[in-house]
Structure 1
Amino acid sequence: MNRPYLSKENKKKTTVTVPNDDRERLKAEAEKQKVIDSLTRALNEVRLMEEGKMPKPNINDLFKD
């Protein structure tokens, strides 16, 4: 079985064991954070476009193959 590990400063590997319940909860939280980060980036891009600091996309370019 392939186990995750951390490397300490001295490069020594330390195995990490996470209970299933915690792993599922952490996985769900990570997915939620990815969505939040994506929305935050999108809102920042919109703000930059409104300020003229970033070009607005051409609608036709969004639907190209």
Structure 2
Amino acid sequence: MLMLNLHLDLLLQASASAQATEMVNLTIAYSNAVTAYVVDFAHKLIPLIVYVSTFMIIMKKS
């Protein structure tokens, strides 16, 4: 009986470890997706900021 309990305990620990690993993997995947979205947004936003600021400087001089 003790061996059966020990075996079940080891199975539960392995299951919990696998679930924790899966959660970590999902968190990393989510973080990577958010980072890619932010970088993509910044790459679109930076030229717009440059164009607008250049336009403002040109308008200020004239």
Consecutive unaligned residues of structure 2, counting only runs of 5 or more, are 1-11, 48-62
Aligned length: 36
Moved over 6 A (4+): none
Could you tell me how far 1:21 is from its partner in structure 2?
A: 1.0
Q: Which has the larger radius of gyration?
A: 2
Of structures 1 and 2, the one with the larger relative CO (CA 8 A, separation 6+) is 1
Larger helix percent = 2
Consecutive unaligned residues of structure 1, counting only runs of 5 or more, are 1-17, 54-65
Give the TM-score of the pair, scaled to structure 1: 0.50
Match for residue 46 of structure 2? 52
Give the TM-score of the pair, scaled to structure 2: 0.52
What are the residue-to-residue correspondences of 1:1-65 with 2, within 5 Å? 19-52=13-46
RMSD: 1.8
Larger strand percent = 1
Could you list the per-position Cα deviations for residues 12-49 of structure 1 after superposition, in whole angstroms to 9, with x for gaps in the alignment?
xxxxxx81111000001111111100010000001111
Distance 1:52 1:45 in 2: 10
Give percent identity, aligned residues only.
3
